[in-house]
Amino acid sequence: MLDISLRAQEVFRIGTFPVTNAVLLASVVVVLMAVIALTLYRKMSLVPRGIQNVTELILEGTLGLMDDVLGSREKSEKYLPLVLTIFLFILFSNWLGLVPGIGSLVLNNNGTSTPLLRSPASDLNFTLAIALIAVTLVNALSVAATGLKSRLSIFFDFRSPIDFFIGILELISEFAKIVSFSFRLFGNIFAGEVLLAIMAFLVPYLMPLPFMFMEIFVGFIQAFIFGMLTLVFVAIGTGDEEKVVSLKNGERSEINQQEI
């Protein structure tokens, strides 16, 4: 039976930098996505056919979903690369770790079998890094859309003690987003990998199949949730300055009625 480890295992080193099995598979995902993107780019034509039809269908569906959240096709096209890249990267990372044969590639280290490749999201370092990137970019986009002064006024408001306290809570919530992002994704994917490993050891043939399909669905849902939360935070952070101030002053219901 494979050694189930909470932390990703080191497989080799580049100088003093340790390369774990999770980092190795994440690198494979990056290369795979780059190859797919270049292939699609080279085969683009004015009259779409084959895989280009599927790609355009996915893009149009994603833009339609983003339109519902952002309320503008211009903003949807502007923030599409961020949201879709995060979604696809997490989705490919989750699914590639479930491909038959990936888990059978092992290294023997002092009698212990170490997987050569491991789903990146089953490593807390990976999910924490993705969460940090997402939250940092959301704040950077918010500054670009509303200005640095407007963004900082959400966290540091000295007009009254209550406003100051609310600002501190907003600042804490930014760090809470990182924790929520990373642990939600890590917990679901790591638990799924442990379940599949145990079932494959106990009943190695047909029994793991239902759990495999369940993990395919869970991998998609987790990538979708991560992408949607990023989109929602982008929508909140890049909204009009008046809306941001109104939300902070507790006038949420009035804004919703005007938008409806």
pLDDT in tens, 138-191: 888 888 888 888 888 888 878 888 888 888 888 888 888 888 888 888 777 777
Q: When comparing pLDDT for 3 and 68, which is higher?
A: 68
Structure tokens at 99: 């491909």
Rounded to whole angstroms, the Cα distance separating 253 from 80 reads 28
Cα separation, 207 vs 210, whole angstroms? 7
| Per-residue pLDDT band at 251 (split at 50, 70, 90) | very low
Q: Where are the alpha helices (DSSP H) in the chain?
A: 21-42, 51-70, 73-96, 124-146, 148-155, 161-202, 208-237, 241-248, 252-259
C-alpha–C-alpha distance, residues 80 and 230, integer Å: 11
* Backbone conformation region of residue 110, classed left if phi is above 0, alpha if psi is from -120 to 50, else beta: left
Indicate the pTM of the whole model. 0.76
pLDDT tens string 27-53: 888 999 899 888 888 877 777 777 778
Residue 147: left (phi > 0), alpha (psi -120 to 50), or beta? Answer: left
* Per-residue confidence band for 248, with pLDDT thresholds at 50, 70 and 90: very low
Confidence at 69, pLDDT banded by 50, 70, 90: confident
Cα–Cα distance between 134 and 110 in angstroms, integer?
39
Longest dimension (CA), the chain: 67
Would you say residue 68 has pLDDT above 70?
yes
- Decide which of 118 and 228 is more confident: 228
What pLDDT is recorded for position 242? 40
Separation CA 81–CA 86 (nearest Å): 8
- Note the pLDDT tens digit of each residue in 117-129: 777 887 888 888 8
Contact 188, 122 (CB under 8 A): no
- What is the per-residue pLDDT for 206? 58
